[in-house]
């Protein structure tokens, strides 16, 4: 069974008990959360969030530079006033370099990706600090709101605040 | 209470019952899902996914052009072989234009965002088709894997396949 079939079956059951049709688009807790796409992390579950509570932005590594468009929209159009950036331990982004993935893309897809920064990192504490810094350097996001940098431990499920 | 305090409290309770410390980083269902950051959507819950099942990428609108880096990493480093792109009804991206948000950013933050495409859209069916098309046009993602385009109805919780 493909993932799509599994998902459509599960969604049909989910829709039967659905009661959230009237939620507004503005996040109730006025917060935007940025996290990694990692399969082991389920932000609503790990962070105690209900549908309607928060914008959740996710990309490989939870990197801010690729989330600025979404954060600007979240703040300017939908009223969020707090930003929480979450990286995590054992992140796949610590297992390769730009050189590695460019080589794979050339070998596997005959693609030239030399112009793309894939944003891997080596030092975890540095990376979350760098991402908070990237936020503060951007002119298109608010600088009068709190911005936090956290690390989620996939070993324990625990969040640790770094910034 | 700020969202951060709420989240740290909820996370402490979550971590007490945590048993997923040994999950591998490779998604069990070998699928990458791209969805909107919208607060009303909880992909694992609506799609029947467990921690470890799927990469979940999210941005404003669920737009592919900003997810290609993450998708390439998902496929080349972590072995996903299926792509599901999900837009949704009543999306905030249908409520503004580039001109609108650029004006707000200039007024509110004194920021020039004239060089940034914020990727709003008007026609929902067209937008999901455009995003599947953007995927197929990219040289850095696999073209030997299934790619689906779905719309999630926030009114009913139901997924509808478009592509």
Pick from A5, A70, A16, A38: nearest CA to A153? A38
A1 part of contact set with chain B, CB < 8 Å: no
- Taking CA atoms, B12 is separated from A130, A156, B23, B122, in Å, by 26, 10, 20, 42
pLDDT tens per residue, range A79-94 = 999 999 999 999 999 9
> What is the Cα–Cα distance from A74 to A81, expressed in whole angstroms?
9
Looking only at the bridges linking them, the beta strands covering A158-161 and A147-153 are antiparallel
Model pTM above 0.90: yes
What pLDDT does B123 receive? 97
Give how far A142 is from chain B: nearest CA, Å.
7
Pick the CATH number of B27-161 from 3.40.50.300, 3.40.1050.10, 3.40.50.10860, 3.40.50.620: 3.40.1050.10
**B residues 103-162 closer than 8 Å to A (CB):** 104-105, 108-109, 111-113, 116, 118-119, 139-142, 146, 148, 154-159, 161
Give how far A15 is from chain B: nearest CA, Å.
5
What pLDDT does B88 receive? 98
Q: Could A40 and B47 be called an inter-chain contact, meaning their C-beta atoms sit closer than 8 Å?
A: no
Please say whether the beta carbons of A41 and B52 come within 8 A: no
pLDDT of A38 over the 90 cut? yes
pLDDT of A161 over the 80 cut? yes
Mean pLDDT, residues A38-59 taken together: 98
> What is the Cα–Cα distance from B28 to B54, expressed in whole angstroms?
7
> What is the Cα–Cα distance from A135 to A116, expressed in whole angstroms?
20
Helices (H), A48-148: 68-78, 98-109, 124-137
Residues 6+ apart with CB under 8 A from B23: A39, A40, A154, B51, B52
What pLDDT does B1 receive? 76
What pLDDT does B85 receive? 98
Q: Per-residue pLDDT for chain B (163 aa), expressed as one digit of tens each?
A: 799 999 999 999 999 999 999 999 999 999 999 999 999 999 999 999 999 999 999 999 999 999 999 999 999 999 999 999 999 999 999 999 999 999 999 999 999 999 999 999 999 999 999 999 999 999 999 999 999 999 999 999 999 999 9
* Residue B70: its H or E element: helix B68-78
> What is the Cα–Cα distance from B4 to B39, expressed in whole angstroms?
16
What pLDDT does A1 receive? 76
> What is the Cα–Cα distance from A64 to A5, expressed in whole angstroms?
33
Pick from B77, B76, B78: nearest CA to B142? B76
Is residue A29 very low, low, confident or very high in pLDDT (cuts 50, 70, 90)? very high
What pLDDT does B152 receive? 98
In A, which residues are within 8 Å of B27 by CB distance? 39
Residues 6+ apart with CB under 8 A from A142: A75, A81, B108, B109
């Amino acid at each position: 069974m493909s993932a799509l079939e599994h998902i459509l079956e599960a969604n049909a059951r989910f829709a039967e008990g659905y009661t959230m049709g009237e939620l507004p688009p503005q996040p109730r807790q006025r917060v935007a959360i940025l996290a990694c796409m990692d399969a082991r992390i389920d932000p609503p579950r790990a962070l105690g969030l209900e549908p309607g509570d928060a914008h959740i932005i996710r990309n490989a590594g939870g990197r801010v530079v690729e989330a600025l468009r979404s954060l600007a929209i979240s703040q300017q159009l939908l009223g969020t006033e707090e930003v929480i950036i979450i990286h995590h331990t054992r992140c796949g982004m610590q297992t390769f370099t730009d050189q590695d993935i460019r080589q794979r893309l050339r070998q596997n897809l005959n693609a030239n990706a030399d112009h793309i920064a894939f944003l891997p990192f080596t030092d975890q504490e540095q990376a979350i600090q760098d991402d908070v810094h990237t936020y503060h350097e951007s002119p298109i996001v608010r600088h009068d709101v709190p911005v936090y940098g956290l690390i989620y431990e996939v070993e324990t499920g625990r969040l640790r605040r770094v910034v």
